[in-house]
Amino acid sequence: MPSITKTMFASAADVEAAFYDALALGDIEAMMAVWAEDEEIVCVHPGGTRLFGYMAIRESWVRIFSSQRLKVHHTLQGHHNEQLSAVHYVLEEISVDGEAAAAPVMATNVYIRSALGWRMLLHHASAAPPDALAGNLQVLH
Amino acid sequence: MPSITKTMFASAADVEAAFYDALALGDIEAMMAVWAEDEEIVCVHPGGTRLFGYMAIRESWVRIFSSQRLKVHHTLQGHHNEQLSAVHYVLEEISVDGEAAAAPVMATNVYIRSALGWRMLLHHASAAPPDALAGNLQVLH
């Protein structure tokens, strides 16, 4: 009989590591295991619309994993921790099918702690300008 | 003698209202009054880099307010509330100098509650695809 136990993540950092591992492996079950179950989860892929809820988010990852192989080098640039929630600011340097993306991606990841341990509530990722590392500003709010 | 008392916001929703009021008025003091003071605050303008800290964020708003007049119609699409923090998902329909932007902007706003009341910790705004309202997905993570 297969085990149906779910991973319990002990910290926001553990969820984050599992998220990027799942992304690198293109593993849809591992990817969906990091998300909160009893909350409305939200995901914005770079250039994409805002997706609400498990089904829409799962479908988006299935589509991404079926069409390309991603390699993501991620760096935590800052964070804010509360007892029951955490916000992480991550810089993602992405290669798609071996080709480096033109610009890094800035992700805001929000985690919450529930009876099931820590889980991801939000992933909001958007492309930085190509000269992002030079610190240029763009004026349109 | 001028008053130096700061506004105390009673809820995340109050901070959000003040944020969009300040944006509409181009009022830099009102804008900076909504941000948390004793935390590292973070702001991503659409198409811009991620800004960390009070000085960088203030400078960006000074630049924005000095160069253009923004009109923003904002709609709360979802939220997650904790006792000491809240995440709001806002859709912004923006006009710049009377011209409607090509696409709406999706903002993730994070608020925290401190001894000073509720304040903004994060504003992460990124442009939705022009066909965002049709619900299309974009495959690059």
The Cα–Cα gap between B31 and B19 comes to: 6
The Cα–Cα gap between B27 and B114 comes to: 24
The Cα–Cα gap between A44 and A106 comes to: 11
Residue A1 distance to chain B (closest CA, Å): 35
Residue A6 distance to chain B (closest CA, Å): 23
ipTM score of complex: 0.89
The Cα–Cα gap between B35 and B58 comes to: 10
Partner-chain contact B23 A141, CB within 8 Å: yes
**A139 and B47 Cβ atoms separated by less than 8 Å:** no
The Cα–Cα gap between A12 and B33 comes to: 30
Count contacts between A and B (CB, < 8 Å).
Answer: 159
pLDDT one-digit tens code per residue, B33-42: 999 987 799 9
| pTM of the predicted structure, to 2 decimals | 0.90
- For the record, the structure tokens of A38 come out as 């009893």
- For the record, the structure tokens of B101 come out as 């932007």
Nearest CA in chain B to A38: B80
pLDDT one-digit tens code per residue, A44-102: 999 999 999 999 999 999 999 999 888 999 999 999 999 999 999 999 999 988 888 88
**A31 and A23 Cβ atoms separated by less than 8 Å:** yes
Provide the pLDDT confidence category of residue B10 given band limits of 50, 70 and 90. very high
Of B48, B94, B96, the CB nearest to A138: B48
Nearest CA in chain A to B64: A139
